[in-house]
Structure 1
Amino acid sequence: MKTILENDNDFFCDIQAPCFQQLSPEEIEFIGNSKTQVLFRKGENLTKQGAFASYVLFLVSGIAKQYVEGDAGKSYNLRMVIPGEFVGLTSVFTHKPYNYSTIALTDVQAFLVDNNSLLKVAQNNGNFAIGIIKRYSLQNNGLFDNIRTLMYKQMNGRMAEVLLYIDGIKVEGIDIFAQLSRKEIAEFAGISTENAVKILKSFEKDNLIKLEDKTITILNSNHLAEISKHG
């Protein structure tokens, strides 16, 4: 992790997110004084499960993966994090350790904002607080969707849903699939790598996708959506 200073070429002056547009000039200055811009290299952790959560991250560029670490080296991937999204919003209200890890899949630039500062602004600015709560709620909804998928869908349905989810993530200049190993894709679906590879090959045989090295091209999203729905 490298701190980016104001005289660096990669420095960004402002946090560009709709909720921050609700702040007064004084609040913007207050948040600005409590934030640090950093560069995470590919493979570095943005957050570590079990570590004390003293800040919230806002991604400026790059992509990251948020996941839960289990026993015996097993993990379950929760979501992809892209520019314009927050990591660690729970720490604003609970001040507990991170209950997940987040790792950079590419080089990532982010703002680290002290969670006590965000809480203080939220307590005094209702519109800003609503914006933060909406983002937190959307993340929670995604987690509940993950639980439903794991509980009720078979492996083919899970894999179809994961492929459509990843394909729907658009970040300029980045091929999302190329950043993920087959093991990581399997961990999004909650299945073994071996089963993930078998299902991907069967999808390719059915002309639903095209496999080329790490890249996956969706050829028939409608059919995948049907498999996801009835899987």
Structure 2
Amino acid sequence: MKTILENDHDFICDISAPCFHMLQAPEIEIIRESKTQVSFRQGENLTKQGTYASYILFILKGVAKQHLEEGGKSYNLRIVGEGEFIGLSTVFGKHTFNYSTIALTDTQTLLIEKEALEKIIRQNGHFAFNIINRYCDQNDILYHSIRNLMYKQMNGRMADALLYLSTKETPTSGIFQLLTRKDLAEFAGISTESAVKILKAFERDGLIQLIDKNIVIKDKIQLEQIAEKG
């Protein structure tokens, strides 16, 4: 992790994201005074599950994955990228991070003091509506993951994970290039061995093509049917 100053070569103009356009000049100044721009190298933790949260993160550049750790097992929740917040639940009364977040690429973020963001949410209705929508979207992904674990068989979980991941774009390469087979297994909530077997079966059936780490979706309709039926 490295703090980036405004005169550094890697500094990014940081209040230009669309969500910040809703702020008035005094509110933008509150953000500027309460933020720190930080870069994380690939593989570093942006957040650690269970640790105290005095700030939320806003991704300026890069890609990361969020995961839960329970009972010695890890379950991947979602991919986060440019323009997304991490840790919104801590603004609404939660004092610790619910999940860990790991950089899949070198990632630049804004660390914004939680109290500053809370103050703006209380006084700017349009910005608050945007933040609440984002928070609800994150909860929808979590509930979808829980339903998969509770009601779907392994093939359905893997099909659902592949369809979700295939929608995620990265600046330099496909998302599958950034993930190991273990990562894929943890998105589907199954063992690595089972994930490898299912991927090979999907390839034999013409649903996907495996090219080293990359995965190409060949029959999206049939994958959707498998994901739906579970």
The TM-score bracket by the shorter chain reads over 0.9
User: Which residue does the alignment assign to 2:206?
Assistant: 207
Q: What does the per-residue CA deviation read over 1:7-26, in whole Å, with 9 as the maximum and x for residues that have no partner? A: 11221223343331110011
Aligned CA RMSD, in angstroms, stands at 1.0
User: Which residue does the alignment assign to 1:99?
Assistant: 98
Which consecutive residues of structure 1, in runs of 5 or more, have no partner in the other structure? none
Report if aligned partners of 2:15, 2:28 keep a CA contact under 8 Å in 1.
Answer: no
Q: What does the per-residue CA deviation read over 1:130-172, in whole Å, with 9 as the maximum and x for residues that have no partner? A: 1111100110011111111111111101100100100011122
TM-score by length of 2: 0.97
Question: Which deviates more, 131-140 or 164-173?
Answer: 164-173
Q: Secondary structure at the match of 1:27?
A: helix
User: Which residue does the alignment assign to 2:164?
Assistant: 165
Q: Percent of pairs identical after alignment? A: 58
User: Which residue does the alignment assign to 1:193?
Assistant: 192
Report if aligned partners of 1:58, 1:86 keep a CA contact under 8 Å in 2.
Answer: yes
Which consecutive residues of structure 2, in runs of 5 or more, have no partner in the other structure? none
Q: Secondary structure at the match of 2:210?
A: strand
Letter in 2 for 1:87: I
Q: What does the per-residue CA deviation read over 1:62-107, in whole Å, with 9 as the maximum and x for residues that have no partner? A: 10010001223x1000101111111000111114111210000110
TM-score by length of 1: 0.97
Report if aligned partners of 2:39, 2:109 keep a CA contact under 8 Å in 1.
Answer: yes
Task: Give the Cα–Cα distance (whole angstroms) in 1 for the partners of residues 171 and 100 of structure 2.
Answer: 25
Report if aligned partners of 1:63, 1:81 keep a CA contact under 8 Å in 2.
Answer: yes
User: What number of residue pairs does the alignment pair up?
Assistant: 230
1:43 aligns with 2:47: no
User: Which residue does the alignment assign to 2:32?
Assistant: 32
Letter in 2 for 1:125: N
Offset at residue 129 of structure 1 (A):
0.9
Q: Secondary structure at the match of 1:59?
A: strand
Question: Which deviates more, 2-11 or 14-23?
Answer: 14-23
Report if aligned partners of 1:39, 1:107 keep a CA contact under 8 Å in 2.
Answer: yes
Report if aligned partners of 1:209, 1:216 keep a CA contact under 8 Å in 2.
Answer: yes
Task: Give the Cα–Cα distance (whole angstroms) in 1 for the partners of residues 26 and 209 of structure 2.
Answer: 52
